[in-house]
Structure 1
Amino acid sequence: MASSGEDRLWTALPGLEAVTAAGPWTDPAPANASNGTDAQLPSQSAEDTELEAFYFYSKAALFRVLLSLALYNIQIITLVRDLAGDVVVCCCRRRRSVPALLVLCMVSLSVNARVLVSVCWIRRPLSPTLHISLSLAGADLFASAALATGLMLNSLFKALHLQQDQCLQFTVEALRLTGIIAAVAHLLALAANHYLGILRPLHYPAIMTHRNTSACIALLWLLPAAFFFVYFSSVPGQGYQSPTCNYDFLLFCKFRATFSSLFFGPLLLMAIIYAHIFVIVRRHQASRLRFSRRHRGSQRRAHHHHHAPHQHHHQHQHSNQQMARSVKAIRTTLLILGSYVVGLMPGVLVFVLVCADCPFPFPETPRDKFRMFFIYTTVNFLIILKTLLNPIIYAARMQEIKVGATVS
C-alpha cells in the first residue's frame, strides 16, 4: 500500500488527472478548438494513440516504483539511525553512570570503614548484638568493594574496550555473591540473637558469650564463601574446572534458583522469628501490666505492715530491663532489615527472572538492551544506597557507635 506521501506525489504529476479522466484509449481535446472554429489536426491511428498511452503510463509506473524504493530506504535509514543512536547513547551513559556508581561505592566504603574504626573508641565490652552488627558493617564494606570491582571489570573496561581476564571476572562474581549472602546470614543471626534474648532473657548472657559470638561470626563469613567456591569448582567443564573459567552455568535458571533460595529462605525464616517475637513481646507487656498492678497493691500492704520488698520483684525488674534492651535492638535490626529488603530484593528478582531459560530471556535487540541498562543501573544504585543507609542507622540507633564515630 502506498503511503500518503507517495499518493500526494502521484496526484501531483503534470497531466495525469487529465489523462486519467479521459481514459487511456480516447483522444485528448484539441488544444486550439476555440471561437467556434474547429482546427484540423493530422489524423492519428489507434495504434499510435495506444503506444503514447503505454509510454506515458510506463514512465509513471517507473517513477512510482522509484519513489516507493526511496521512501522505503528513508524508513530503513531512520530505523538504523534510531537504533545506532540508542547504542551510542547507551555506551555514553554507561561511561557516565558507571563512574557515578563507583563514586557512591567509594563513599559507602569510607562510611562503613568509619563505623568499623569506631570500635577502637568503645571502652566497655561489646554486646553480642553490637558485635554482630559491626560484622554486618564489614559485610556491607566487602559487598561495596566487590560491586565496585565488578562494575570496573564488567562495565567500565568493556565500554573502554580494554582487555579483561575472564577468571578474574569469575572470581569477583563469586566474591560479590558471597558478600550478599553473608549479609543475609548476619541478619538471620541477629534475628536468632534477638529471639534468644526475648525467649530466655535470664540465660542469654551465659549462652551468648564473647567466644560463642566470635565463633558464630566466623561461620557467617566462611559458610557462604565455601558454598560458592565449592559450587563454582564442581560444575563439569565449567567454572574453575575450565582453563578459561567458562561461566555459562551462571546464565541459566538452575544456579539462579539456588541463589534465590539462599536469599528468600533466610528472609522467610526471619519473618517467622520476628512474628513470634512480636507475640512474645505482647504477652510480656500484658504480664508486666498485671504484675505492676499486683506490685502496687503489695507495696501498699507491705508499707502498712512494714514488710521488706520481695526478691521476686528484683528478678522481674531485671527481666524487664533485659526485655526493654532487646526490644530497642529489635527495632534497630528491623530498620536494617527493611533497608536490605528495599536494596536487595529488586536485584535478586531481576537476577532470578532474567536469564537464558528464565521467564524473561536476555534482551537481544539494541532497544531492549537499552532498557535493561537502566534496570541494571537502578538495581546497582539501590544496592549501594542500602550499604550507605545502614551506617546511618547504626550511628542513630546505637549509642556506642555514635560515640565512637564522633570521637574518630
Structure 2
Amino acid sequence: MCFAFDGEGTLLHNLTYNENTPARFMDTFAFRMAITSLFFVPIFVMVVCYTHILFVVKKQQNRWNDISRMGSIRTKGRGSHKICREKKQLESNVRALYTTLLILGSCFIGWTPALLFYTLACSKGCYLQGEALVDLNCNHRTTVLILRLTDNMLVILKMLANPIIYSIRMREIKDGTHRMSMALLGVFCPSRRDDMISSGYYYRSRNQNSTGGTIQLRLTSFKSANRNGSHIALGKDCENAFL
C-alpha cells in the first residue's frame, strides 16, 4: 500500500541509499483514509456478520425453549442425552457470540478516537491542514495534549480489556473477584464487609459459582430415594452433609 501511494519513489530511494527522507504521501488524506479503512471496514463487516449469527442462534434457542415447554417426544434413552448435549452446545455458542461482540465493541471504542485524529489532521487534504493545523499545534497545545493522551489511553485500556472480557465468565474468576472485593472492603470499609459476611452474601455467591450443581444433584438424589421408598436415616451426620 505504501509503495502504491509513493509516486515520488521516496521509499525505494531510502531503501536503496539507506537514507531517511520524509515520505510526504504519508501526510495526505488519501493515504490516511486507506490506512483507516483497514480497520473500519473489517470491523463493520464482522459486526454485521456476528450480529446476524446471533439472531440466528437466538432464534434456534427460542425453538429449544418452545420444545422444552411443550415436551419432546424423545425423552428417554440416547435421544434425551443428545438433546441435552446439543442444547448445552447452543448455550455455549451464544456465550461465545456475546464475547466476540464485546471484543469488537472494545476495538471500536479503543481505536476509533486515535484513528479519527490521525485521519482528520494532516498536512494535505484533511479537515485540519495547513495554517489551521499549525495554529492548533502552536496555540492549543494543552487541548492537543489532552486529546492525544485520551486516545492513547483508550488504546492501552483496549488491550487490558481483552483478558478481562475472555475470562470474566469463568467461575474461578468470579470467585476470585468476590474475594478481592471483600478484601478491599475489609481495608477501606470494614463495617460494610462485616455486614455482608453476617448476611451470608459472600457465601451465597460462592455457592452459586462453584457448588450449585452439587447441591442440586444431592437434593435430586434425595427426592428419588424418597420416591423409591428407601429409608434414609436423617441423623446428625446426614443433616450436616445436606447443609
The TM-score bracket by the shorter chain reads: 0.5 to 0.7
Q: CA RMSD in A?
A: 2.8
Q: Which amino acid aligns with 2:53?
A: I
Match of 1:277 among 36, 53, 66: 53
Q: Which residue of 2 aligns with 1:372?
A: 144
1:358 aligns with 2:126: yes
Q: Which residue of 2 aligns with 1:334?
A: 101
Aligned mates of 1:344, 1:313 — CA distance in 2: 47
Q: Which residue of 2 aligns with 1:232?
A: 2
Question: Greater relative contact order (Cα 8 A, min sep 6): structure 1 or 2?
Answer: 1
Aligned mates of 1:347, 1:232 — CA distance in 2: 20
**Contact 1:339–1:389 at 8 Å: present in 2 too?**
yes
**Contact 1:232–1:240 at 8 Å: present in 2 too?**
no
Q: Which residue of 1 aligns with 2:65?
A: 289
In the TM superposition, residue 378 of structure 1 has moved relative to its aligned partner by 1.4
Unaligned runs of 5+ in 2: 176-243
**Aligned to 1:260, what secondary structure does the other structure show?**
helix
Q: Bigger radius of gyration, 1 or 2?
A: 1
Q: What is the TM-score normalised by the length of structure 2?
A: 0.58
Aligned mates of 1:247, 1:371 — CA distance in 2: 27
In the TM superposition, residue 370 of structure 1 has moved relative to its aligned partner by 4.3
Distance 1:282 1:393, change over 3 A: closer
Aligned mates of 1:370, 1:353 — CA distance in 2: 18
Aligned mates of 2:13, 2:82 — CA distance in 1: 60
**Aligned to 1:397, what secondary structure does the other structure show?**
coil
In the TM superposition, residue 286 of structure 1 has moved relative to its aligned partner by 1.9
Equivalent residues in 2 for 1:38-57, closer than 5 Å: none
Distance 1:394 1:240, change over 3 A: farther
Equivalent residues in 2 for 1:1-400, closer than 5 Å: 231-234=1-4, 235=6, 236-242=8-14, 243-295=19-71, 299=75, 309=76, 311-356=78-123, 357-361=125-129, 363-365=133-135, 366-398=138-170
Aligned mates of 2:110, 2:100 — CA distance in 1: 15
Which string of whole-angstrom CA distances, capped at 9 and with x for unpartnered residues, describes residues 311-341 of structure 1? Answer: 4433332221211112122222222222222
Which string of whole-angstrom CA distances, capped at 9 and with x for unpartnered residues, describes residues 361-404 of structure 1? Answer: 2621211444323211211111112122222333323569999x
**Contact 1:396–1:402 at 8 Å: present in 2 too?**
yes
**Matched-pair identity in %:** 32
**Contact 1:238–1:249 at 8 Å: present in 2 too?**
no
Which string of whole-angstrom CA distances, capped at 9 and with x for unpartnered residues, describes residues 9-59 of structure 1? Answer: xxxxxxxxxxxxxxxxxxxxxxxxxxxxxxxxxxxxxxxxxxxxxxxxxxx
**Contact 2:61–2:90 at 8 Å: present in 1 too?**
no
In the TM superposition, residue 347 of structure 1 has moved relative to its aligned partner by 0.8
Aligned mates of 1:388, 1:329 — CA distance in 2: 19
Which string of whole-angstrom CA distances, capped at 9 and with x for unpartnered residues, describes residues 145-204 of structure 1? Answer: xxxxxxxxxxxxxxxxxxxxxxxxxxxxxxxxxxxxxxxxxxxxxxxxxxxxxxxxxxxx
**Contact 2:11–2:23 at 8 Å: present in 1 too?**
yes
**Contact 1:233–1:241 at 8 Å: present in 2 too?**
no
Q: What is the TM-score normalised by the length of structure 1?
A: 0.36
Aligned mates of 1:310, 1:261 — CA distance in 2: 54
Distance 1:401 1:248, change over 3 A: farther
Aligned mates of 1:323, 1:294 — CA distance in 2: 19
In the TM superposition, residue 278 of structure 1 has moved relative to its aligned partner by 2.3
Which string of whole-angstrom CA distances, capped at 9 and with x for unpartnered residues, describes residues 110-148 of structure 1? Answer: xxxxxxxxxxxxxxxxxxxxxxxxxxxxxxxxxxxxxxx
Distance 1:375 1:320, change over 3 A: same
Q: Which residue of 1 aligns with 2:232?
A: none
